[in-house]
Amino acid sequence: MALPNVMVIQSADPNEKGYVYRKDEDGIVAFGEESVFSTRARIEVEPAKTDSKYVNLRFSYSNRYMQRPVFLSYGLAAVGLAPLEDTSSPFCTLFEPVKVDNGDDDDDVFYFIHAESGGRLAIDIANMSFFVDIFGTSASQGHLRVVDLDSLVRLPVRGNLAFIGDNGKYLKAFTWFINYFQLSSDIPNDTLSRHQVTEQPDGHVRLTSIHWSALWNLANSGWILGNTTNANSPNTLFWPVKINGNTIALRAADGKFCQRRVTNNLANGSIGTEVSSLTKQAELQVEELVAKSLVHNVRYQVEYGRIFDETSYTGWSSTVVNSQDVEVTISLSFSYQDTKEYTFARSYTLETGVPTLFDSALPFVSKDGSIDDAAAKISALLQWNAANTMTATVTGKGSVTLPAKTSAVVSYVGKRGTCNVPFYYTQADTVVNAPIGSLPVEVVSEGIDGLYTATNTYDFNLVIEKTHAI
């Protein structure tokens, strides 16, 4: 069964609320995390190298692999520093996902078989644990559901948002007997056009009109109205779907998408639901009403960092000739272009284009193969989740000793590898939440969802690769 690259796990029983997560204090894998976006619940799926039917499960923010932690225990913990694909070992990190055929189109229900014991992974609601069930008490034991995190949209919640429709107009509060939302404004910062997102644990959102201090609400007529403060009504829940960049669509409680409606009265251009398929009229560009951001006070969790995808890398190579009749030591001077790549990522997924100044150290893999969390320094405008590069000319000197009458290919050979380090950070946003003409205010928040990834070269040595007599 093909699993998502990044996922969270929950019970297939809708009455069992929560997600599988890793406990911070001891790495024990348990059940009951509330939010689908929790850093403790995010799992990376790594295909096994030894057998394609198996996968390794790594918790993203601790870089620890799920396994049995103790020989005689069938509990699970995410404590493995690296995959262990020996299926005879009780500490094996391999699991086989098996799709459950329920006779419907639900592709997300499955169970996991622990490769070493043959038991299924299961949730014990009594003590909220996640364990290997070797007894198989029922056919439905261990039925789980995965959520593909790459398919979810996490809308910004730090400031107000404005929405731009397919007609290029901002969505504004509009009253014509009742409170509509109409795509008819040219002013994003007007109180009429500002909205606030409240994130729900399962990925749904509720949206509040700043003008009316009321929730968006699906009416029986299909119109989206700003006419309730009832945060328990399912008609105030919306599911965001990413289309591209900063463009989304919102699915309402009736399973249909909110879209710009065409009428022959003053409600023309207001949003409501009509069809369950995506249309051009359902597209909404998300604009954060944030003038600028500063990300600083970055604290890297190096103890949870990892280094992977190491390969051999040749920075420089040349042919060196000793034409004399005696052994000679030859001095060398050389240079090459060194390129480093790095990305600051977080769990918010839209590219809203807010200018963000990152003032931070940059970790890279050092010569000794460890992660140096202060290898470089950056103070520059960057985008979250975007790859950045640094290129510099590196010069070096060295020497090689060649026998008499010998030609050799000499190379400067090292490694190229990638490191991944979770981080905490402080974010200061200059937010436009006030009426037009008022000064922006600075809102400071703490983030725990940072994931830094960098690729660089290291551990170089001069190597004589080929020799032949001349």
Tell me the CATH number at 167.
Answer: 2.80.10.50
Beta strands in 276-405 (DSSP E): 284-288, 290-300, 306-322, 328-345, 356-365, 371-382, 387-402
Average pLDDT over residues 42-63: 97
Distance of CA 7 to the CA centre of its chain: 10
Please report whether residue 318 resides in a domain: yes
Q: Please give the structure tokens belonging to residue 399.
A: 């020497």
Task: Give residue 101's pLDDT.
Answer: 80
- pTM reported for the whole predicted model: 0.90
Task: Report how far residue 43's alpha carbon sits from residue 154's, in angstroms, rounded to the nearest whole number.
Answer: 17
Q: Which CATH number do you get for residue 397?
A: 2.170.15.10
Look at residue 1 and tell me if it is in a domain.
no
Given 130, 150, 170, which residue is the final one in a domain?
Answer: 150
Does residue 87 sit in the same domain as residue 179? no
Confidence grade of residue 138 (pLDDT, cut at 50, 70, 90):
low
Q: Which of 101, 121, 150 is the last residue of a domain?
A: 150
Confidence of residue 436 (pLDDT cuts 50, 70, 90): low
Instruction: Assess whether 389 and 460 both reside in one domain.
Output: yes
185 within a domain of the structure (yes/no): yes
Residues 238 and 335 in one domain: no
Instruction: Confirm whether 183 is domain-assigned.
Output: yes
Domain-embedded: residue 155: no
Q: Of the candidates 250, 266, 288, which is a domain's last residue?
A: 288
CB of 39 closer than 8 Å to CB of 60 = yes
Note whether 299 and 274 are same-domain residues: no
Shared domain for 280 and 308, answered yes or no, is: no
Residues 109 and 198 in one domain: no
pLDDT, average across residues 184-189: 91
Q: Kindly report the average pLDDT of the chain as a whole number.
A: 94
Average pLDDT over residues 438-451: 91
pLDDT of 105 over the 60 cut: no
Asked if the model's pLDDT at residue 243 lies above 60, the reply is: yes
Number of independent structural domains in the chain: 3
H-helix or E-strand containing 8?
Answer: strand 6-11
Residues 135 and 34 in one domain: yes
pLDDT higher than 90, residue 71: no
Mean pLDDT to the nearest integer, 74-87: 96
- 378: containing domain: 292-469
pLDDT band at 91 (very low <50, low <70, confident <90, very high): very high
> In this structure, what DSSP letter does residue 238 have?
B
CA neighbor of 391 nearest in space, from 343, 341, 339, 342: 339
Q: State mean pLDDT over 289-315.
A: 97
| Residue range 304-309: mean pLDDT, rounded | 97
**Pairwise CA distance, residues 425 & 43, whole Å:** 21
